[in-house]
Amino acid sequence: METWEAIRARRNVRSYDDRPIEPADLDRILEAGRRTPSSTNQQGWDLVVCTDPAQLRELAGVWRFAAHVADSAATIALVMPASDDPDERETYHYDLGQMTMSLMLAAADLGIGSGHASVGDQDLARRILGLPEDRECAWLVALGYPSDRSLTAIARPDRRALEDIVHRGRWTAGPR
Ligand SMILES: Cc1cc2nc3c(=O)[nH]c(=O)nc-3n(C[C@H](O)[C@H](O)[C@H](O)COP(=O)(O)O)c2cc1C
């Protein structure tokens, strides 16, 4: 798939068929994550890849909107240093947001669906993933081949109109 095609085809996929992800494909998705830019190139991230069905079912319990994790072929846990400093947290989250999109686009490029999940129960996530106290699980990215329809470019995405969000040169009030 071309980059432009992958950008237009990516959507949150929350139901997956039984097909496993080839190890080489999973590695490519992880490599896309590794190449993500970060603030001052701090790379304050670690990734825990889970493919064991029993572990995935447990992991789905960390947040009430993470049910799709249970049936994923693999889920990548995005881990960051635990910090109370709001500035530090902001840059870690910005970096991980970028990483999320890199993972998702690399997956879409391979025809693999992906779905975000937040993490509500940090203690549970730490226990399931074996994280040390100085790390927290910021996000989960579930992966798997879509069980509904394959990934193809979405002609009319559910997004605000371009002319609504783009202000050329100066802010202009528009419809919202
Ligand atoms: C920061 C963030 C957190 C999200 N958390 C969840 C989540 O916990 N569970 C979920 O099912 N989707 C989650 N999503 C997915 C969004 O609901 C989804 O991206 C949005 O509705 C747009 O749909 P699309 O990704 O299919 O274009 C999250 C997305 C972002 C960016």
* Separation CA 36–CA 100 (nearest Å): 9
Q: Kindly give the number of the ligand 1 atom that is closest to the alpha carbon of 63.
A: 8
pTM of the model: 0.97
Distance separating the N- and C-terminal Cα atoms of the chain: 33
The pair of three-digit structure tokens given for residue 89, joined into one six-digit string? 């947290």
Residue 173, pLDDT score: 83
Q: From the centroid of its chain, how far is CA 38?
A: 16
The pair of three-digit structure tokens given for residue 42, joined into one six-digit string? 């701090």
Residue 152, pLDDT score: 97
Confidence of residue 163 (pLDDT cuts 50, 70, 90): very high
Report the pocket of ligand 1 as residue ranges, CB < 6 Å: 11-12, 14, 63, 65-66, 115-118
> What value does the mean pLDDT take over residues 5-30?
98
Residue 37, pLDDT score: 98
User: What mean pLDDT is reported for the chain?
Assistant: 96
Would the pLDDT of 5 be above 90? yes
Query: For a pLDDT cut of 70, what percent of the chain falls above it?
Result: 98
The pair of three-digit structure tokens given for residue 15, joined into one six-digit string? 């139901």
For a ligand 1 pocket test, name from 8, 11, 59, 118 the mutation site with the most ligand atoms within 8 angstroms of its C-beta: 118
> What value does the mean pLDDT take over residues 79-94?
98
Residue in 139, 77, 75 with CA at minimum distance from that of residue 113: 75
Query: How far is the centre of ligand 1, averaged over its atoms, from the C-alpha of 170 (Å)?
Result: 30
Query: How far is the centre of ligand 1, averaged over its atoms, from the C-alpha of 113 (Å)?
Result: 13
> What value does the mean pLDDT take over residues 46-70?
98
Residue in 143, 137, 146 with CA at minimum distance from that of residue 61: 137
The pair of three-digit structure tokens given for residue 53, joined into one six-digit string? 């069905």
Would the pLDDT of 176 be above 80? no
Query: For a pLDDT cut of 90, what percent of the chain falls above it?
Result: 95
Three-state DSSP state, 142: strand
Query: How far is the centre of ligand 1, averaged over its atoms, from the C-alpha of 65 (Å)?
Result: 9
Q: Kindly give the number of the ligand 1 atom that is closest to the alpha carbon of 65.
A: 9
pLDDT in tens, 94-153: 999 999 999 999 999 999 999 999 999 999 999 999 999 999 999 999 999 999 999 999
Query: How far is the centre of ligand 1, averaged over its atoms, from the C-alpha of 12 (Å)?
Result: 7
Would the pLDDT of 40 be above 90? yes
* Separation CA 67–CA 142 (nearest Å): 10
Helices (H), 35-85: 53-59
Residue 9, pLDDT score: 98
